[in-house]
Amino acid sequence: MASSFVVCRLRMWGRGSLVRCLQKVDTFPRRSIGTNVVAAQAEATRKDESDEKEKDGQKSLYAVQTERQEQAERSVLISCHSRTNENKFLKYLSRHGDIKTHFFYESYGMYAVVEFANRESVASLLEEAAIPSVSHESMVPFKSRLLSVSDLSSVDSANQKSGQKCRPQTSTPINELIQRLSREESIDRQITSLTEAYQLTEENSRLRFLVCSLLKDIAAAYFPECTIKPFGSSVNGFGKLGCDLDMFLDLDGITGRNVKMPKSGLFLEYQMKRANSERAVTQSILSVIGECVDQFGPGCVGVQKILNARCPLVRFAHQPSGFQCDLTANNRVAMKSTELLYLYGEVDPRVRCLVFTVRCWARAHGITSSIPGAWITNFSLTVMVLFFLQRRSPPIIPTLDHLRDLAGPADKSVIEGNDCTFVSDFSKIQLHSNTETLEQLLCEFFEFYATFAFSRMSVNIRKGKEQNKPEVAPLHIQNPFETSLNVSKNVNATQLDRFVALCQESAWILQQSGTNMPRDHRGGDTPAPWGLATILLPLQVAGVKSRKKKRREPASERIKSLLESLKNKNQQKMN
């Protein structure tokens, strides 16, 4: 029942275009430190389950992750000349085997991602590749799947037709987005259009897995059985083109492969160095791999080892992809948060649309920032949207406690004493039939947080209800898994006040705007901003000049009328 309801709703909301990129994302093994054998068994069960589902035509996240990683290992990244002739290039490479897919993009020069049908083709291609002849001695002779192609033929390459089309890897600038949205007929369409413009593309998703795979080749010099997996917005369904690439170095392939101790007779085990703590192990591994990335990693620049952070990491820019990368290890709780966010984004397509819209709105007004500070983070903002959706009547998404209650034995996960268990089989999730439109939800989101009792209450997606605040921080959002922590501890009162004021302002503007494009906006090449486009503009211009003079009341009056309308609405609900 529940699954057919979900499927029918997904169709209604145009699932195909919105989740295109997410069909390729990954999920993460349910493991906790010191329980690797149990975890390996759980993973085997999970694999069986996912194989079963695949037979039914439904691909599990686990299966998709495996597929993406495998695809990345059959791929190479090649720096090309902008005049590289596509046909000639493909013909040249296909001497090593069939090419399954390829695409070009630009990032500090032109690059091609080429996926071969077989891994042997990659080995054959690497066998043929030469060490650069120029300044040979000053090169670190580290071979990788990042290559360059040159054309030494006698024909002047300037006269050759290139023909390749570059796939964009960065998001639409905000001004272009505003123009695009202004041409849409309804606010609902504006919201889906924004999501389509911002979400990760199929190619960008491939490139993210490929960069992880290239990094894995470096780390494999020390830990041949390691894997490097993307997490955070690269795979949770809420990633915008241009978002950072969060990576997790997973060594469970080594530690999890534990051989059973025999009851009698000889027994061999590895001698290993002991460190003071698990954190010290993480720090030393990241330190060495960070050094290796810095000294040998082709295309990796600006490497910083941030080992004393709560979650130690190595930060660097991967120039060929243009990604800002954060490499962590032993960060399983973040992996679980990623998996949870993914699940919420999958159960109802309105979730993803609303998160994208709120994230974009927040960025446009400087509520979030790429620089760390007292700002609300995208992660906190996403949790706030999820909480709001749990508070709808009827709720659009279930609480985390409910997802935990639906979990099966293979879903059990305890990480560092924190219960991170929740259901992985979406078909077990019963949804209520809430039919609110995206426009209603966006408007209600702003109203909800414009009047939220931040001074007393905490946002809690585990319970799906406001809880009394356990601490004095201006904004308290309970960490879903490490429940004693506040994910928005960094946010100061000024930033929270700005957020609330912008919610009030945006709610008011949306209330004034009709649901559909105003009649006098139709027909022009560059229609004036309306609806969602208006609230993405800086607020001092948000009212649009002509309207500003005629219709705007003082802020205090607007807030008064907003509160008045909320009161009326609540009364209507109670009646």
> Can you give the binding site for ligand GTP, defined by CB under 6 A?
231-233, 236, 239, 243-244, 246, 333-334, 337-338, 377-379, 479, 487
For ligand GTP, give the closer residue by CB, 239 or 320.
Answer: 239
C-beta separation of 112 from 81 below 8 A? no
Nearest to 499 by CA among 364, 354, 367: 367
Report strand pairing: 300-306 vs 313-318.
Answer: antiparallel
- The smaller minimum CB distance to ligand GTP, of residues 79 and 378, is found at 378
Say if residues 382 and 238 touch (Cβ distance below 8 Å).
Answer: yes
Which residue lies nearer to ligand GTP by CB, 109 or 373?
Answer: 373
Closest CB to Mg ion among 325 and 420? Answer: 325
CB of 359 to ligand GTP, least distance (A): 8
**Nearer to ligand GTP by C-beta: 340 or 537?**
340
Contacts of 381 (CB under 8 A, 6+ apart): 355, 358, 359, 362, 367, 368
The secondary structure of residue 240, as a DSSP letter, is B
Among Mg ion, ligand GTP, none, residue 333 binds (CB under 5-8 Å by kind): ligand GTP
**Least distance from Mg ion to the Cβ atom of residue 243, Å:** 6
Q: Which residues bind Mg ion (CB under 5 A)?
A: 232-233, 244, 246
For residues 466 and 459, is the Cβ–Cβ distance under 8 A?
yes
Residue 291 binds which one of ligand GTP, Mg ion, none, with CB within 5 to 8 A depending on kind? none
Number of residues that make up the chain:
575
Instruction: Point out the residue whose Cβ comes nearest to ligand GTP.
Output: 232
Strands of 20-60, DSSP E: none
The nearest distance, CB 334 to ligand GTP, in angstroms, is 4
**Which does residue 337 bind out of Mg ion, ligand GTP, none, counting CB within 5 to 8 angstroms by kind?**
ligand GTP
We find the least distance from the C-beta atom of residue 32 to Mg ion, in angstroms, to be: 23
Token couple for 569: 């609405």
Shortest distance (Å) from residue 377 CB to ligand GTP:
5
Nearer to ligand GTP, 100 or 489 (CB): 489
Which residues are registered as beta bridge partners of 215? none
Residue 313's SS3 state is: strand
Residue 233 or 486 having the CB closest to Mg ion: 233
Residue nearest to Mg ion (CB): 232
Identify which of 238, 234, 84, 62 has the alpha carbon closest to the alpha carbon of residue 164: 84
Cβ(495)–Cβ(157) below 8 Å: no
**What are 558's two structure tokens?**
């607007």
Parallel, antiparallel or unpaired: strands 414-415 and 418-419: antiparallel
Q: How far is the CB of 382 from Mg ion (least distance, A)?
A: 11
Pairwise CA distance, residues 567 & 557, whole Å: 15
Q: Min. distance of Cβ 251 from ligand GTP in angstroms?
A: 19
